[in-house]
Structure formats: structure tokens, C-alpha cells
């Protein structure tokens, strides 16, 4: 298990100010754990593929949970993910930080025990993620991240869940639209971040995320920042490139993929910026050209692209008119981390993978976000990226 303690910077707002960026920041130490339960890389690929298939099925128009589960790839519950210690009532739960979904729910491992602040709404709740699902009852309760608290938050309490062993559930930071039809008798409901704004705890419905790649083979480090209510200007360099978000996820358009000076395609791809996905997925046409240009091959054992000799060219794409680049040291899995991926041998592997031909065909997962600061701005309906500081 890889544990990473991550600071959270909460940006407060004095009533009457126009922006959360115009006031002093209140810095809170919030431990997040970057958890690995992986025994083999192919299980990560299977889990991500199931999540991607779920996105594609939603685009295809299936809104029924059972229908969307049909055709999901078989998954062994092994994950790399970031967990937040979230207090619901007076219990602490380890919840996955997920910008690809919007429900907050508990009870996968640690069972929920109602206290005086909890209210059972009597409504059923059900969500499937492709790589897992849960169903149960909606409650409202007090939710806190190290003392940053909202009351009356909608919480799913799982009666049953699948493929969430080792975690307690999810804290969803996706757009409100993703809550649609997940709770019986309710069209949509506010997310935890929206509740914080409505109750005056923070000023704007903005989440800033700074993750960091592992160094060496360590299993614990303090090297990241979450920002609720604005952006942390010390977490990135240069300026943030923004583009309008595409419903219903934190969807964006990306284009002009390249490997070094070799174009991999100029067509615009439909992408999701997703902290809940591990790898980076690109359209099949881009992926195929990437294999040819990089002299990589699909390794059937791991499900990853393998190189007998480490590439020397950068991988890049264009987002919002700005080129974002990964060096080989950034897109290759560090050899010091092979044990954490269940990889053996002396070959080289990348986290760039095949996203298929149907939209969404591109996922910007957290292995990319460990090098770029990301901003999920509900207030202005946009997504931003900037190089990590």
C-alpha cells in the first residue's frame, strides 16, 4: 500500500468579495492516502477499461443501471487511487476522491452508524461505475474534511457494494448533472462542494487538484494539495489554460496529439479529466500511430505498451490552444515502482493506452494529473490545466 499524505488548502470568502482568490487562505492539513492494492498491472487496465466502457454507455444513451452494467469488462478489484479521510456524523471513512462522479457515499468497508445529526430520507440510491457499484438508502448528515464542514449533505449509505474492498466509498467532485436519477424521486441534488458554497464555508464552487508522482520506491510522502473554493497559486507555474466543460462530466476537447515531431492526429477528441481513472487513454487512431512512432508493442501480459528500449521523444496534445507535454520520464512507469504495479523484467512501460473509437475516447487520468495542476470550476463551467510548480 502506497500512502501519500496530502495538504488541503481551503480558500475562505468574506461576504461581499467577488472572488475567493481575493481573500486570505486558511491552510488545513488533510491527509490523503494514495493507495495501491495492485498485484498485477493487467488488473488496473481491466478496471480502467470497465470505467471507460461505462462512460461510453452513458453517451450511447443508457440511463438504466442494470443496462449500463451489461457488457462491463470483468474486473479484479485492484486499484491505484487517492483516498480522503472524510468524517460523516462522527465516523471517519476513507473515500475515493473522484471527479468522474458526483455522489458521496459510504459503507463499502466501514459500516455507517447513524448519530443524532443523521436523517434517513427513505429514498433509494444506486450508482454504477463500470468497475464497481453500490446501492442503498439516502441519508443526510454533517460532512467534514478536517473541520471544513457542511450540514445536511446527501449521503448514500450502501446496503450492497461491489469492487470497493479496501475503501469505504466515494466523495464525488463531478458536476451536479451526474447525480441525475441516482436517488429515487429526485432529479438532481447538490454535491458536497456546492453545499459548502451554499452554507458560506467557501466562496466559489471550484476544486483545485495538485497530485505528484511517486519518487523512488517510497510508500509514503507529503506532496500534494487540494484546494476547495479557488486555486492555489503556489501549486503551478505560468498561467492556467481553461476550456469550457462539456456535459455531463468534466469533459474537454483535446487535439493535435504528437510524439516528438511526429503528428499522431489533428482531429479533436472528446476527453474526460478524471481523478478516478489511473491511466491516460487516447483515441485508437492516435494509439496506433503512437505504437508505430515509438516502436512500442502491446504487452498481452500487462495490457500496457512495452518498449525494449526507453523512448526519447515527448508525448503531447493540445488543450485550450496550449500544448501539454509529457517527457519520457513522465509517461514511462518508473522502474522503482514496478513492484507496486506487479511488473517484472527490464522492459519499459507507459501508462498511455487505447481509448477506442467511440466518444469519450480520451481520459486524462491521474497519472497525467500528477504532473499538471487541474481546476474543476463549476462556477464558470470550465476546466483548467497548468504545469505543477
DSSP string, 117-146: T-EEEEEEEEEE-SS-EEEEEEEEEEEEET
Joined together, the cell numbers standing for residue 128 give: 454504477
Query: Is 253 among the residues known to form the active site?
Result: no
Do residues 326 and 315 touch, judged by C-beta distance below 8 A? Answer: yes
Residue pair 2/36 in contact (Cβ under 8 Å)? The answer is: yes
- Choose, from 163, 195, 232, 274, the residue flagged as catalytic: 274
End-to-end Cα distance, the chain: 26
What is the rounded CA–CA span in Å between residue 99 and residue 101?
A: 6
Beta bridge partners of 156: 105, 138
Residue for grid cell 456535459? 247
The Cβ of residue 49 has, within 10 Å, a number of other Cβ atoms equal to 24
* 274 counts as catalytic: yes
Query: How far is residue 360's CA from residue 70's CA, in Å, rounded to a whole number?
Result: 18
User: What would the 3-class secondary structure string for 68-88 be?
Assistant: HHCCCCCCCCCCEEEEEEEEE
- Three cell numbers at 191? 454535491
Is residue 275 within 8 A of residue 98, CB to CB? The reply is yes
Of 98, 141, 195, 354, the active-site residue reads 98
Contact, 365 vs 281, CB < 8 A?
A: yes
Enzyme catalytic residues = 98, 274
Amino acid at each position: 500500500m502506497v500512502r501519500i499524505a496530502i495538504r488541503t488548502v481551503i480558500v475562505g470568502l468574506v461576504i461581499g468579495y467577488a472572488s475567493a482568490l481575493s481573500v486570505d487562505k486558511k491552510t488545513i492539513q488533510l491527509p490523503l492516502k494514495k493507495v495501491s492494492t495492485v498485484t498485477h498491472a493487467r488488473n488496473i487496465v481491466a478496471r480502467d477499461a470497465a470505467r471507460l466502457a461505462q462512460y461510453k454507455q452513458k453517451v450511447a444513451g443508457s440511463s438504466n443501471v442494470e443496462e449500463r452494467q451489461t457488457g462491463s469488462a470483468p474486473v479484479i478489484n485492484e486499484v491505484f487511487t487517492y483516498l480522503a479521510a472524510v468524517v460523516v456524523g462522527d465516523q471517519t471513512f476513507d473515500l475515493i476522491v473522484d471527479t468522474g462522479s458526483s455522489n458521496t457515499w459510504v459503507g463499502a468497508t466501514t459500516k455507517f452508524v447513524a448519530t443524532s445529526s443523521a436523517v434517513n430520507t427513505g429514498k433509494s440510491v444506486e450508482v454504477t461505475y463500470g468497475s464497481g457499484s453500490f446501492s442503498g438508502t439516502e441519508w443526510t448528515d454533517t460532512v467534514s474534511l478536517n473541520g471544513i464542514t457542511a450540514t445536511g449533505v446527501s449521503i448514500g449509505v450502501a446496503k450492497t457494494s461491489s469492487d470497493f474492498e479496501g475503501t469505504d466509498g466515494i466523495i464525488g467532485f463531478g458536476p451536479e448533472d451526474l447525480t441525475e436519477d441516482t436517488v429515487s424521486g429526485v432529479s438532481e441534488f447538490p454535491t458536497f462542494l456546492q453545499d459548502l458554497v451554499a452554507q458560506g464555508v467557501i466562496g466559489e464552487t471550484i476544486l483545485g487538484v495538485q497530485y505528484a508522482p511517486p519518487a523512488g520506491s517510497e510508500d509514503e510522502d507529503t506532496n500534494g494539495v487540494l484546494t476547495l473554493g479557488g486555486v492555489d497559486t503556489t501549486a503551478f507555474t505560468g498561467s492556467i489554460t481553461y476550456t469550457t466543460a462539456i456535459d455531463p462530466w468534466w469533459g474537454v476537447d483535446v487535439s493535435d496529439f504528437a510524439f516528438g515531431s511526429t503528428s499522431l492526429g489533428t482531429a479533436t477528441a472528446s476527453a474526460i479529466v478524471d481523478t478516478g481513472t489511473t491511466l491516460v487513454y487516447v483515441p485508437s487512431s492516435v494509439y496506433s500511430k503512437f505504437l508505430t512512432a515509438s516502436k512500442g508493442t502491446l504487452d498481452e501480459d500487462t495490457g500496457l505498451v512495452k518498449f525494449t528500449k526507453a523512448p526519447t521523444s515527448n508525448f503531447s496534445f493540445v488543450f485550450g490552444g496550449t500544448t501539454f507535454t509529457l517527457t519520457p520520464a513522465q509517461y514511462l512507469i518508473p522502474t522503482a515502482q514496478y513492484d507496486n504495479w506487479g511488473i517484472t523484467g527490464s522492459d519499459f512501460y507507459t501508462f498511455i493506452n487505447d481509448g477506442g473509437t467511440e466518444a469519450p475516447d480520451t481520459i486524462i487520468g491521474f497519472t497525467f494529473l500528477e504532473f499538471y495542476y487541474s481546476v474543476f470550476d463549476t462556477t464558470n463551467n470550465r476546466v483548467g490545466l497548468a504545469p505543477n510548480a
